[in-house]
A and B are shown apart, each in its own frame.
Chain A
């Protein structure tokens, strides 16, 4: 059974601090996505990581992918309150599976405190 797990599930941190969210997945996949979700809202696409060693940065967020370890990280630098949200990773599509099917991770609720 495919599993996509995130760690931690909840993170409270102070403004200005750094932290990393981890996303582990259990089967080979072409690509990995990171999304942000604000309360009561749908998903906002943050990053698409397409290959081993891929690194992408946008503002205070940086995502990387290690396909050999089946691990992606989302690093937060000098957090600000506006980054408070739930962050999901998603994996797909899968070889031999349905086209474009995504499996979502458990989510990480990030609360940035002043």
Chain B
């Protein structure tokens, strides 16, 4: 149980375009979802925390107008990178937690690799 999926797994886009990444909890209700970014050979950096039905809480230094997060249902959160640029190229990983599970445990998705040309 506690499976989290992400779509797509890899996306290549042109500079200036927007890209949407989906994060789904397949077998539980995710009241909280987290979005992380990981640059090559670096650790995971938390970008934002989203609770279902409310606005996301962004970490310091993360532009909320550039990284749009929507958590409209208990099984789906989306991250939209608007007007992507090469410096946005990274590995984006989501995680989820919910009341059916141990609420202090996050279950991680497989990640989405974004390459901006």
On A, residues with C-beta under 8 Å from B are: 30-31, 35, 40-43, 45, 48, 88, 93, 98-107, 109
On B, residues with C-beta under 8 Å from A are: 32, 34, 36, 41-46, 49, 57, 93, 97, 103-106, 108-111, 113
A31–B106 Cα distance when bound, in Å, is 13
Contact B105 A42 (CB under 8 A): no
Contact B104 A30 (CB under 8 A): yes
Contact A42 B104 (CB under 8 A): no
A103–B60 Cα distance when bound, in Å, is 13
Contact B43 A106 (CB under 8 A): yes
With a cutoff of 8 Å between Cβ atoms, the chain B residues found around residue A105 in the complex are 43
A23–B110 Cα distance when bound, in Å, is 24
- Secondary structure at the A interface, as helix, strand, loop or mixed, is loop
Contact B104 A93 (CB under 8 A): yes
> Which of these, B34, B42, B104, B111, contacts A31 with CB under 8 Å?
B104
A64–B97 Cα distance when bound, in Å, is 24
Which B residue sits closest to A48, measured CB to CB? B105
A98–B56 Cα distance when bound, in Å, is 12
Which A residue sits closest to B41, measured CB to CB? A109
Contact B32 A42 (CB under 8 A): no
With a cutoff of 8 Å between Cβ atoms, the chain B residues found around residue A41 in the complex are 110-111
Contact A42 B93 (CB under 8 A): yes
A93–B104 Cα distance when bound, in Å, is 7
Contact B43 A102 (CB under 8 A): no
A105 vs chain B, min Cβ distance (A): 6
A30–B104 Cα distance when bound, in Å, is 10
